Structure 1
Amino acid sequence: MIAVFLANMSLGQETEAPEDPAEIPFALPRSGPFNPADIDIGNETAIADWFRSAHANAAAEAFSHWDDDGEVQAACATCHSGEGFRDFHGLDGSEPGVVDGTIDVGGVVDCGTCHNAGLAQVTEVTFPSGLVHPVRGVEASCLTCHQGRSAGTDVAEAIGDQELDAPNPDLRFINPHYATAAATWLGGYGAAGYHYQGQDYSGRFFHARPVETCNSCHQPHTLEVEFEACTTCHQAEEPAAIRIARQSYDGSGDTDKGISADIQSNADLLLEMIEAYTDDVVGAPVIYDGNRYPYFFADANRDGAIDMADGRPVAYASWTPRSLRAAFNWKLITADPGNYAHNPQYTLELLYDSIADMADPLGVDMEDLNLLR
């Protein structure tokens, strides 16, 4: 009946509308028209907040990297697509623990990544170190995707019992990956960093008990830090300016600046020492470029520029066990811009031990540096 009605309308013939209201081909509800601004959307604010967050930025490299491939690689899909996340945890009915479907490009960390009812059934998350950590609810989303993809145990396995200062062309930089907040937060318990033999490392950073989850500090949709709660206990203009100790860890003696400054200073020192070590001890200088993988490149002629071959940068291939483990720790720490809040003690310990390890072959006296662990 509807087909006949529409056909007659297209021919300009007058036809009575069907008597059955269920068969009337309305494009809009009969109580319209509507002004979109007058339509109430219950979670409008949450959607708007999410839309301006990094989780929703489909144009970002984190979500557009695979556009030319037509699908997101299975190894990456868990954290770089809401569809992949649901596949990995079996929230779509598939086998949990593996991405076994084709994950289309164009996805982001969408609402269903954190608001899926099935998350209540996800009770543990496995970290790169092998740690199986218990989680509750939306914690599964945060800790699945902000744990990195490598741990210090991977570095230890790669270097084995090789001579510490002997270059090995088979060694390659091991990347802890990006935004490793959860790995930093769990500290020595999560074993994200390379742990030097004989050293103890601070465990999970509990902070103050009411502030012990990701959502305790981060607005869940914008991802911004809700700093007002910090001022209950800390006097500072911004999170990075918060000081947690009355002692100086970077040797400056300045305890008026935030602890983040101590961490950054020691991280800068460690990178300088890695560069000096590759030049003076190994005889094969390295250059770091954070804008392209694998980040560490060769400079065989010592001209201060990355070596090129066939129009491509030459990856550094003169790693020693000593430089590889220090570079891993440095990258792990700098990959988490919030390390000073997520676990400052563990961060400072990794930096100190890495600096001390590099100082030995460089002939640097740690006492002269006046650093604290």
Structure 2
Amino acid sequence: MSLKNRRLSGIYVILGLMLSVTPMTGFAQETTSSEIESIAKEMEFYVMPQSGPFRPDQITIANQAAIADWARSGHSDASSEAFAHWNEEGEIPPACATCHAGAGFRAFHGLDGSAPGLPEAPVPTGGVVDCDTCHNPGLGKINEITFPSGLVHPVSSTAEVSCMTCHQGRAAGSMITRAVGTQDEDRVDPDLSFINPHYAVAAASWLGGYGGGGYQYPGKEYSGRFFHARPLATCVSCHDPHSLEVAQESCMTCHQDGTPDNIRLSRISFDGSGDLDKGIRADIAANAKRLHALLIEYAQDIAGTPMVYDGHRHPYFFADANGDGRIDEVDGSAVPYNAWTPRLLKAAYNWKFVTSDAGAFVHNPHYALELLYDSLEDIAQPLGHDIAAWNIRR
């Protein structure tokens, strides 16, 4: 039976009931079908509404939808490496708990009643970035975030507080400067070790040279905070705060193609390919790949010890003294790369910084390209490469 017929049937029943309690005055016999249909049409909205507060199955509960989105996101995945890394120990060190457990985050900002700062004791495992991490009422009182470079950046929204606290990395270019001092650029220093910018450094990328996340070569100018375009002003301007997915519809406000990978931003071929049809992400990836190759070449030819990179275990760069392409081991443990020179450390840090932000091509493509170009230019010199021949651009 069609929806219309079901509605009419309901009207007929109601009219029948009305007639059954009305004195027979000849009304029923004189009422035609067309009149009944006319009455039914007038009463249709009141008898069976198609939607609205009378249909519970069609009422959207915003909070329920938000929780469902969060439950499917990386922020809630307690089994992921970000939260399960310390499961065997049963507790998370204070320095790590700030971002790898909701309780640690609240302790860091003093939202749990403690004094702001690192948690006083390790935090039990099992926590994630929960609702109270981003919706705690006390977040509104925080008006600045300190970055590893020492920059104190003002914030005006709770979203900025939550995102910038944990997506700033744990190192800065200034740490590289202090570590290498004034040593000869190509002299191996056994006291040097890799300095890791950490993971998901989106906020540091976004602030660019102003934030000082990357190693910035003396005499060079670097792009500052990437303002993108209004009204895109914070992380949640592009990322759904619960599912974390990118709202590609926002991209199409200005870009013909809303797919992030296809967005170009510039009519300059930064990777020297001359291909302007691909997205800017491809240029950044190509220059990062070229820099990685030079790191490996430099380690063998200049530092004198071949290097192997393994992105799945810290400290990522390992020694390969016999050059067989396999990580050296001592007593079953991998040997960290131990032939760092100032020049190699600077370039390796920048490579890791740029590649640690999967969205660098959106967060601040200019800064990423500048760091890669300057690192390529610097490390290519002792290797005898002519960077001009590559036709890459800064």
**TM-score relative to the length of structure 1:** 0.88
Shift of 1:43: 1.0
Equivalent residue in structure 2 for 1:107, among 92, 116, 127: 127
CA distance in 2, matches of 1:190, 1:209: 21
Equivalent residue in structure 2 for 1:348, among 369, 377, 381: 369
2:192 is aligned to 171
Shift of 1:321: 0.2
1:368 is aligned to 389
1:140 is aligned to 161
Shift of 1:138: 2.1
2:217 is aligned to 196
CA distance in 2, matches of 1:138, 1:92: 19
Amino acid aligned to 1:370:
N
Equivalent residue in structure 2 for 1:216, among 237, 245, 251: 237
1:57 is aligned to 77
Shift of 1:98: 2.4
CA distance in 1, matches of 2:313, 2:325: 17
Q: 8 Å contact 1:179–1:336 — kept in the other structure?
A: yes
2:254 is aligned to 233
Shift of 1:38: 12
- Alignment of structure 1 residues 62-141 onto 2, 5 Å: 62-136=82-156, 137-141=158-162
- Alignment of structure 1 residues 278-317 onto 2, 5 Å: 278-317=299-338
Amino acid aligned to 1:90:
G
1:275 and 2:302 matched = no
Q: 8 Å contact 2:192–2:340 — kept in the other structure?
A: yes
CA distance in 1, matches of 2:381, 2:258: 39
Amino acid aligned to 1:225:
V
Q: 8 Å contact 2:249–2:258 — kept in the other structure?
A: no
Q: 8 Å contact 1:173–1:328 — kept in the other structure?
A: yes
CA distance in 1, matches of 2:148, 2:197: 9
SS in 1 for 2:252: helix
Amino acid aligned to 1:371:
I
In terms of Rg, which structure is larger? 2
SS in 1 for 2:153: strand
For residues 109-158 of structure 1, what are the alpha-carbon distances to aligned partners after superposition, in whole Å with 9 as ceiling and x for unaligned?
A: 00000000000111100000000001122210000000000000011100
**TM-score relative to the length of structure 2:** 0.84
Percent identity over the alignment is: 60
Distance 1:74 1:305, change over 3 A: same
CA distance in 1, matches of 2:103, 2:117: 14
Distance 1:40 1:345, change over 3 A: closer
For residues 49-80 of structure 1, what are the alpha-carbon distances to aligned partners after superposition, in whole Å with 9 as ceiling and x for unaligned?
A: 00000000000111011111121100101000
Equivalent residue in structure 2 for 1:181, among 194, 199, 202: 202
Q: 8 Å contact 2:159–2:235 — kept in the other structure?
A: no
Shift of 1:104: 1.3
Q: 8 Å contact 1:82–1:109 — kept in the other structure?
A: yes
Q: Structure 2, unaligned stretches of length 5 or more?
A: 1-56
Q: Structure 1, unaligned stretches of length 5 or more?
A: 1-36
Distance 1:302 1:138, change over 3 A: same
Shift of 1:235: 2.1
SS in 1 for 2:366: helix
Shift of 1:39: 12
CA distance in 2, matches of 1:234, 1:65: 39
CA distance in 2, matches of 1:322, 1:243: 31
CA distance in 2, matches of 1:76, 1:133: 21
How many residue pairs were aligned? 337
SS in 2 for 1:48: helix
SS in 2 for 1:138: helix
CA distance in 1, matches of 2:237, 2:59: 32
Shift of 1:237: 5.5
